[in-house]
Amino acid sequence: MHQTFYIDVDEEVNSVIGRIRKSNAKYNILVVAQGALLMQSSVSLKLIKKESDILDKKVMIVTKDDRAAIIAKKIGFPVRRSLDEVKEISANPVLKKPDIQIGREAVNENKVNAKPDSDEISNKRNRLTNLGADSFIATNGIIKKNNLVENNRSSFLKNNLDDSNREKVVVKNNNLLESQNDGFKDLFTEFPEPIVTEKKQKTSNKNMLKFLWFFVAIIMLLILGIAAYFFLPSAEISVFPLKRDENISLKLNISEDDNVVDPQGNTINLRGKIIEDEGILSLTFDATGQKGGSDQKAKGTITIYNEFSETSQVLVATTRLLSDNDKLFRLLNTVTVPGMTIVDGKVEPGKIEAEIIADESGTDFNIKEATLAIPGFKGSAKYDKFYAKLTQETKGGGSSGGDLKMVSRSDIESAKFKTENQLKNQLKDSIKNKSGEENILLDNALIYEVTDFSVFPEESSVTESFEYQVKIKVKSIVFSSGDLDEKITTFINSSVIKKEVPLKLISFSKNYGNADINFAKGTINMEINVNAKLRSQIDADKISNSLAGKSRDEMSGIISNYPQISKAEAIISPSFISNSFPKYPSKIKVIISDN
* pLDDT tens sequence for the chain (595 residues): 678 888 888 888 888 888 988 888 888 998 888 888 888 878 888 888 888 889 888 889 999 888 888 888 888 889 888 887 777 655 544 444 444 443 434 334 444 344 444 444 444 444 434 444 443 433 333 333 444 444 444 444 444 444 434 433 333 344 434 444 445 555 665 444 444 445 556 666 778 888 888 888 888 888 876 666 556 678 888 888 888 888 888 998 888 875 555 556 788 888 888 999 999 999 999 998 876 555 678 889 999 999 999 999 999 988 999 999 899 999 988 999 999 998 888 889 999 999 999 988 888 888 989 999 999 999 999 999 999 999 988 887 775 445 668 889 999 999 999 999 999 999 999 999 998 888 988 888 889 999 999 998 888 887 888 999 999 999 999 999 899 999 888 888 887 776 666 788 888 898 988 888 888 888 889 999 999 888 888 888 888 898 888 888 888 888 888 888 888 888 887 766 667 888 888 888 888 887 6
Per-residue pLDDT at 295? 61
Instruction: Kindly report the number of other CB atoms within 10 A of residue 203's CB atom.
Output: 14
Give the Cα separation of 524 and 35 in Å (integer): 114
Angle 381-386-390 from CA coordinates, rounded to 5°: 150
- H-type alpha helices, 172-287: 183-189, 198-231
> In sequence order, what are the beta bridge partners of 282?
469
pLDDT of amino acid 42: 85
Contacts of 40 (CB under 8 A, 6+ apart): 68
What is the pLDDT at residue 13?
Answer: 86
Angle value at C-alpha 125, between 34 and 103, nearest 5 degrees:
120
pLDDT recorded at residue 152: 45
pTM (two decimals): 0.42
Rounded Cα distance between 447 and 524, Å, is 13
Q: List Cα–Cα distances, 259 to 262, 265, 269, 271, 487, in angstroms.
A: 10, 18, 10, 8, 17
Backbone dihedral angles phi then psi of residue 432, each to the nearest 5 degrees: -60, -40
